[in-house]
Amino acid sequence: MVEMSVAGIALDASSRTPIVLLRDPSGRRQVPIWIDQTQAHNIMAGLQGDAPPRPLSHDLMASLLTAGGLELERVIVHAIEDSTFHAVLKLRSDQDPSQEETLDDDPDDPLQVDARPSDAIALAVRTGSSIWMLEEVVAEASIAVDAEADAEDQSAFNRFVDDLSPAALVRHLRKRGELDEPSEE
């Protein structure tokens, strides 16, 4: 299993659908999970630590766990089937300190609850719980992240923008045919 962290929320360029990005500890792999707008809002609110005037659903869930003497030990994203991720909440009872911690995926465990990954992640960020993913899922769904190459590209773009003047931009756009020549009226 690989412990993942929430790298952020992005938007799919073509569909404008939010994506939660989970990153491995090395920062080399990222797993995108498409979610809906509401879930993106819930995850962002949890990441930012915003305290809404009234509890959101995931704040309520966290409060219910506490009231019931349970703690969210970890979230486990354990499968991907037909482009759909599957997760479980691993809970620990406050009343049973002898309960052993395991990373197994026993569906008969009474302290394991099936959940959508987006709900599980939103709850995990509110409770400070860890997010884990089976290595097979990471291997199947991850995209490579090259932080060094991204930093070089960002640096090159920043230099380009710093050196750019309005006149140079107009010349460049005219050269590419994206800007009409001024008329002599």
In the prediction, which pLDDT does 103 show?
46
- This prediction's pTM: 0.70
With tokens 């097979």, the residue in question is 136
Same domain, 68 and 121: yes
- Host domain of residue 184: 147-185
Q: Which residues pair with 33 in a beta bridge?
A: 20
Tell me the per-residue pLDDT of 146-178, one tens digit each, with 9 for 90 and over.
Answer: 666 666 766 777 777 777 777 877 777 788 776
pLDDT at 2 over 80: yes
Same domain, 19 and 98: yes
Mean pLDDT of the chain: 83
Same domain, 129 and 166: no
CATH number at residue 116: 3.10.690.10
Give the E-state strand segments of the chain in sequence order: 2-11, 18-23, 29-34, 70-81, 84-93, 112-115, 130-133, 143-144
Same domain, 77 and 37: yes
Query: What's the domain count of the chain?
Result: 2
**Span 57-82, mean pLDDT?**
91
Cβ neighbours for 34, distance < 8 A, ≥ 6 positions apart: 12, 17, 18, 19
- DSSP β-ladder status, 130-133 and 70-81: parallel
